[in-house]
Amino acid sequence: MLIKGGIVYLTKNKIMVSYWKQLIVNNVAIIFIYVCFMLLLLLLMILYKVRLIIWWDLLRFSLLPVVFYFSFRVYQEHKKVKNLQQLLARGKLPPVSRHSLVEMNYIIEIQKLKTEYYQSIKKYKDQLQEHQDYLTHWSHEIKVPITDLLVLSENKEQVSSIQVHEQAVLIKQHLDLMLNYDRLADFNHDLRFNWVSLEYIVKNIIAKYSTFFINKQVHLELNISNIKILTDQKWMQALLEQIIFNAIKYSNKEGSIKINWSKDTLRIIDNGIGIASSDLPRIFEPGFTGINGRKNDTATGMGLYLADQISRKLNNKLKISSILNQGTTVNLVFPKEHYSDITKL
């Protein structure tokens, strides 16, 4: 106990000494003026042969209020620090003092920083929760094609390779969607811009979803030959996969999909179920499924959100127009310096 008490005592003494040092540093100009004044007074008294006892009396009586002033200031600072520590322990800041402009400005700035800090923490927590919710949702969506595969294998001794392929593609579609969403946060570190054939990218996607085209008997019109684009091939394919897969998914049986190039725009047109006009302003919101999504249990509401985010980062503009029960047109606009028509060279 004695050792503990001694340590506390020494700690308090160190704190008081630090207060005194800081106070002297802050008031060094006043101390300097006081010393100079007393020395000048001493010289004058010596010069005019005034009794030095008077100077000693002045020094003694002037030192008392000076020491009292500094002691009172140390006490005030100690009290302020103690109050501040108590308030901070409760997560509060001291009220703004009207008597000190410096303190007032400091506290105002600290309050601003505190507000910004709590806002950033809240934003981070919201994003983290949103991220976890989407991952949970996607994990449930992946279970759907897996369950379908299990049902097919249980009910039939021989399962069609086309049906298996479709479900496998759907599983990969959901996984790619989840991975691309996760990579968006570090998007700029994963970019490699090159000149690539637009037709090559689109044909890769068509080959990937060929079984869906066949099963739905969707007629495809493709007219994008001779177009080169400056882009990141991997991310552009991820973007177009979302758009083309949506066109297939929401097309009617024996419907048609047109993919063509006009001026600076890639157009993907389907004559499927379309999008309600009330849903169009919100189609790029994360998690928004709309009327069609509520009818289709496999909709995640993230496909068009990701497509829009990717298009922005690739310096493209994604525009969608649609009429319910008539079809949807998706326009992907490229900057002038990001496309080239080989036939016009």
| pLDDT number for residue 2 | 38
Q: Note the pTM of the prediction, 2 decimals.
A: 0.61
CA torsion, points 38, 41, 46, 48, in degrees to nearest 10? -170
Confidence of residue 7 (pLDDT cuts 50, 70, 90): very low
- Which pLDDT belongs to residue 345? 54
Question: Is the model more confident about 282 or about 8?
Answer: 282
d(CA 271, CA 327): 4
Domain covering 125-344: architecture: 2-Layer Sandwich (3.30)
Please report the DSSP string for 59-109 in residue order.
Answer: HHHHHHHHHHHHHHHHHHHHHHHHHHHHHHHTT--PPPPSS-HHHHHHHHH
Non-local CB neighbours of 85 within 8 Å, separated by 6+ positions: none
Q: 22-51, pLDDT tens digit by residue? A: 767 777 787 888 889 888 988 888 888 888
H helices present in the chain, as ranges? 2-26, 28-47, 52-89, 101-155, 161-183, 198-208, 210-216, 233-249, 290-295, 303-313
| Residue reference for tokens 């209020």 | 65
Classify residue 268 by burial, with Cβ atoms within 10 Å: 0-12, 13-18, 19+.
buried
Count of beta carbons in the 10 Å neighbourhood of residue 77: 17
**pLDDT, position 255:** 92
Strand partners, 319: 331
Q: Find all residues with CB under 8 Å of 235, minimum gap 6, and list them.
A: 187, 190, 191, 310, 313, 314
Domain with CATH 3.30.565.10 in the chain: 125-344
Q: Is the pLDDT of residue 299 over 80?
A: no
Q: What is the largest CA-CA distance in the chain?
A: 127
List pLDDT tens digits, range 171-217.
777 778 777 777 777 777 778 899 999 999 999 999 999 888 988 99
